[in-house]
A and B are shown apart, each in its own frame.
Chain A
Amino acid sequence: MRVRRRRRLLRAAWKSRELQAVQDRTGRIRPGDVLLFSTVRNEHIRLPYFLNYYRDLGVDHFLFVDNGSDDGTGDFLAQQTDVSLWQTDGSYAGATFGVDWQNGLLRRYGNGHWTLMVDPDEFLVYPFCDTRPIRALTDWLDDSALRSFSAMLLDMYPRGRLDEHPYATGQDPFEIAAWFDSGNYTLKKNPVYGNLWIQGGPRGRMFFADSPEKAPALNKIPLVKWHWRYAYVSSTHALLPRGLNHVFEDWGGEKASGVLLHAKFLDTFAQKATEELERNAHYAESSEYQAYASRLKAHPDLWCKWSEKYRNWHQLEDLGLISKGNWA
């Protein structure tokens, strides 16, 4: 495992050479700041809401990698005063789906900070997030001697066809994609890294009904008190050293946890799916996107009568999708 971790870090160092700083404001990072890391590609339309959402939660600084956008994403981000931006035209797949770039940035800027690594369509929801900023959570995690915080990916979808409700810049995506599956997730332990492997949700239900083992993983550990020795292994599903993956309680209790609301299924999705398929830049030869593209032509409705409409974190807690643990 140590060898694997070292290899990850070496790769990160190597691949980081592909990054070019466009706007480096990392000098403004103060000790104790909460940092957000993300890789983007043509996400201009989503970013205004994304940035404001996390600013409201109390994220102090954003570190973005722009992977060859051509829709003005880079210019937009460079103008933000709390954003540091790197640019690369390197291969997303070649950088282990962006993980190498981020590991490099985390190693350089994340050490000693609470770091949040999310995609631009992922929105963190944790217990009490409406009344307590993210600093309250990280302080509590510090006091509890916890280094990482689990947040499962919760796929959100609209009612009706995806292209029925166009998304406008700055809009809350969950006004459109307001629905989710509450209880069809399967959990398995991954003996290699000691993390959980979670599958299911609307993607499992609609796109992988006949090959559930291929459904995308939904387990994520996006919030970590970073140390330069740490490394993400595959996306934010697993970390090394393995102790960081033990975000679940296996002696009967519940640890505190949140979810990442996933605003993937908007009208932008069909276009994205085709584009990603052409780039062939995703995991396992983009088999996930192949499954989408073939099904999307029929304009499926992800909604069913058992779909839950999202209200707030209390609802997610009642449904058992997040837990307060002993945070009260």
Chain B
Amino acid sequence: MSVGIAMLVHRDLERAEQVARHWTAGGCPVVLHVDSNVPRAQFQAFHDTLADDPLVRFCERHRCEWGTWGIVAASQSASAMMLDSFAGVHHVYLASGSCLPLRPVRELVAYLAARPRTDFIESATTSDVSWTVGGLDIERFTLRFPFSWKKNRRLFDRYVQLQRRLRVRRRIPEELVPHMGSQWWCLTRQTLSAILQDPERSRYERYFRRVWIPDESYYQTLARRYSSNIESRSLTLSKFDHQGKPHVFYDDHLQLLRRSDCFVARKIWPGAGRLYEAFLTGRAGAMTPAEPMPGKIDRVFARAAERRTRGRPGLYMHSRMPRPGREHGVTAGPYSVFQGFVDLFADFERWLAKGTKARVHGHLFAPEGAAFSGREAVFTGGLCAGAMQRDYAPQSFLTNLIWNTRGERQCFQFGPADNQGIAGLMARDPNAQISVISGAWAVPLFRSNRNFADLRKEAARLQKIERRHLALLRAAETKARVRIWTLAEFIEAPMEHLQQITDEICPERRKGLAEAPTMNDLAGFGQFLQNLKNQGMHPHLMGDFPTKTVPVNPPTAVRKPYLVR
């Protein structure tokens, strides 16, 4: 007989009984503390069912409310009774009713017998812990907390505020250095009895009664005073989420718990029948001297916390609807927007798709509907090409598209004739790579067969829209990666610019571009612009376009045959 279990129970008494019997079957005495909130009749029934077990004792009952002294008082009574009643106990293990031993009892006994002088108690100074709830660390020890955090949160917060403002401080007993840690410990008889039989105990108690969550600091602080050998970790696997409440284990955690090699896990959902069955029907495994390895479980729960606090970037759904600026990623992945390229090059889409292996769409926000790649009527996830539906919620349309095609880069065309409702979202999205040839919208006008008066009107409209869009892209708040060339600038060295863009889309294919897209014939374009000017509409977004000379053979980055019409 060497390890005694002090068990604090407050509900699900059947499960507690099961676990208590498991401990005693392994030869460990159990002292049970039942919360005085449990009705007398229920307690009596529980008491009677365990009466036949000589290794089970019941200690004096206290009222246990979270964060209050009652829990410490309960563990004091239980461990004192343990030390008095079972002289052979050299370690006392504090557990709760929802703790479940994961390894055979004898493995725990052997593990502790091999470390007879070691106290396992997580204990860190207040400056070293990062997990405190409510941002209270050292203040747990220096302020007063007469109001319940769970029931009277507002009063609790107000009173803390008030004390901070009035700079009220309690004096910490001089010989104590505040430490905190998990409330589930395993202490040696020597340390524990030193704490319980300390002549100063009543003074410390008076102090700790007013400390907030004393069960996380009373033993942790006093053990530092008496223990010769503290191993600062808890043998109980117990994980807390970002709100400071313990994660619960269910049937589907069985394999995870098995592989953790921890001795005891908390807390187990009382309905997890398979877990209780698996771990309490003595697994006849070989004695493995394995150290507990909670790493894997840590990762599972860390992921869960991340999911809760940050979520998946670019996802908008019925339980994640971030307000602007809080998205942690406006869209799910990088994508490229091309403005003016299809106007300048005749076969730009085909060329881009071939050169980058990305999914290349036409004008997704065109007035007549979304031009999906292959001009499909419906695209991934069931997105419709119809203009009505798209324009009902253009931002959802884009974020949905990028979310639905995670893993495949999307490229699409954009222009001043398109729905501009999406421009703001793209500008503040770091995933957007926006390349603009400003003024290129004039090329289709120039090549069209329309009345000049209409052309002039249309040109004025498009220029106005594009100017506003460019101002947005150049704003300081813009997070998208933006490249803007004027038309004149671009056609001076088109291949150089195209190379830059494609390199960014697929950095792994950093070869020279084999082929150039076919550029539309611009002979007479300069004159066209001059005509617009003569009519009183000044097209300035194209840059300085010479009236007479037209660049016949734009220089290219690579010396390969290419087509220029």
Of A202, A253, A323, chain B has the most CB atoms within 10 Å of the CB of A253
- In the complex, what residues of B have CB within 8 A of residue A187's CB? 316-318, 321, 393, 396
Q: CB-CB < 8 A to A282: which residues of B?
A: none
Contact across chains for A152 and B384 when beta carbons are under 8 A apart: no
Query: Would you call A201 an interface residue if the criterion is a C-beta within 8 Å of the partner chain's C-beta atoms?
Result: yes
Number of interface residues of A (CB under 8 A): 60
Cα A320 to Cα B400 with chains together (Å): 10
Q: How far, in whole Å, are A68 and B316 apart by their CA atoms in the complex?
A: 40
Verify if A14 is at the interface (C-beta below 8 Å from B).
no
Q: Contact between B389 and A182 (Cβ–Cβ < 8 Å)? A: no
Most buried by B among A132, A139, A202, A219: A132
CB nearest to B242 among chain A residues = A326
Collect the chain B residues with CB atoms within 8 Å of residue A322's CB.
Answer: 317, 319
B400, A184: Cβ atoms closer than 8 Å: yes
Identify which of residues 228-258 in chain A touch chain B, using a CB-to-CB cut-off of 8 Å. 247-257
In the bound complex, residues from chain A placing their C-beta under 8 Å from that of B525 are none
Within 8 A of A (CB), among B259-312: 269, 271, 300-301, 303-305, 307-312
Known: A253-B309, A254-B307. A140 touches B386 (CB 8 A): no
Contact, CB under 8 Å: B252 / A323: no
How distant is the Cα of A252 from the Cα of B309 in the complex, in angstroms? 7
Q: Is B248 an interface residue (CB 8 A)?
A: yes
Q: How large is the interface on B (under 10, 10 to 19, 20 to 34, 35 or more residues)?
A: 35 or more
The chain B residue with its CB closest to the CB of A181 is B382
B250: chain A residues at CB < 8 Å are: 128, 131-132, 136
Interface segment out of the listed B140-148, B225-233, B322-330: B322-330
Most A CB within 10 A of own CB, among B311, B318, B328, B392 = B318
Task: Evaluate contact between A253 and B321: CB separation under 8 angstroms.
Answer: no
Residues of B within 8 A of A24 (CB): none
Complex Cα–Cα for A151 and B396 (A): 19
- Which residue from chain B places its CB closest to the CB of A326 in the assembled complex? B308
B39 within 8 A of A: no
Within 8 Å of chain B (Cβ to Cβ): is A287?
no
Is B94 on the interface with A (CB-CB < 8 A)? no
Partner of A152, one of B307, B309, B317: B317
State in angstroms the CA–CA spacing of A188 and B360 once bound together: 29
| Shortest Cβ distance from A195 into B: residue | B318
A324 touching B382, Cβ below 8 Å: no
Residues of A within 8 A of B505 (CB): none
Q: Could you say which of B242, B320, B321, B381 contacts A306, with CB atoms under 8 Å apart?
A: B381
B243 proximal to A (CB < 8 A): yes
Tell yes or no: B345 within 8 A of A by CB: no
Known contacts A188-B393, A323-B317; A253/B308 CB under 8 A: yes
B521 at the interface (CB under 8 A from A): no
Check B312–A144 contact: CB distance below 8 A.
no
Q: Is the CB of A51 closer than 8 A to any CB of chain B?
A: no
A198 interfacial contact with B, CB 8 Å? yes
A181 to B243, alpha carbons, bound, how many Å?
35
A213 close to B (CB within 8 Å): yes
User: What sequence of 0s and 1s flags, for each residue 188-229 of chain A, a beta carbon within 8 Å of any chain B beta carbon?
Assistant: 110000001010111011001111110000010000000000
Decide yes or no: A306 and B378 within 8 Å by CB, A183-B400, A209-B384, A328-B300 being known contacts.
yes
Q: Is the CB of B326 within 8 A of A135?
A: no
B contact residues around A189 at 8 Å (CB): 321
Known: A143-B245, A189-B321, A328-B304. A201 touches B269 (CB 8 A): no
Cβ of A327 < 8 Å from any Cβ of B?
Answer: yes
B266 CB, nearest partner CB in chain A, Å: 13
Is there a chain B Cβ closer than 8 Å to A133's Cβ?
A: yes
A91 interface residue, CB < 8 Å from B? no
Known contacts A136-B271, A182-B381; is-contact A249 B404 (Cβ 8 Å):
no
Q: Which of A139, A196, A252, A327 has the most chain B CB atoms closer than 10 A to its own CB?
A: A252
Inter-chain contacts of B445 with A (CB < 8 A): none
CA distance A116 to B489 in the complex (A): 64
User: Is A325 part of the binding interface, using a Cβ–Cβ cutoff of 8 Å?
Assistant: yes
Question: Could you tell me the distance between the alpha carbons of A140 and B304 in the complex, rounded to whole angstroms?
Answer: 14
A150 interface residue per 8 A CB criterion: yes
Confirm or deny: B46 has a beta carbon within 8 angstroms of a beta carbon on chain A. no
Contact B307 A323, beta carbon cutoff 8 Å: yes
Note all chain B residues with C-beta closer than 8 A to A210.
Answer: 386, 388
A-B CB proximity, top 4 nearest: A183-B381, A181-B382, A326-B308, A257-B319
17 contacting pairs across A/B (C-beta < 8 A): A131-B252, A140-B248, A144-B243, A184-B382, A186-B397, A209-B386, A250-B323, A250-B326, A253-B309, A257-B319, A304-B382, A306-B382, A320-B317, A322-B319, A324-B304, A328-B303, A328-B304
Q: CB within 8 Å of A: which residues of B?
A: 241-243, 245, 247-248, 250-252, 269, 271, 300-301, 303-305, 307-312, 315-323, 326-328, 378-384, 386, 388-389, 392-393, 396-397, 400, 403-404
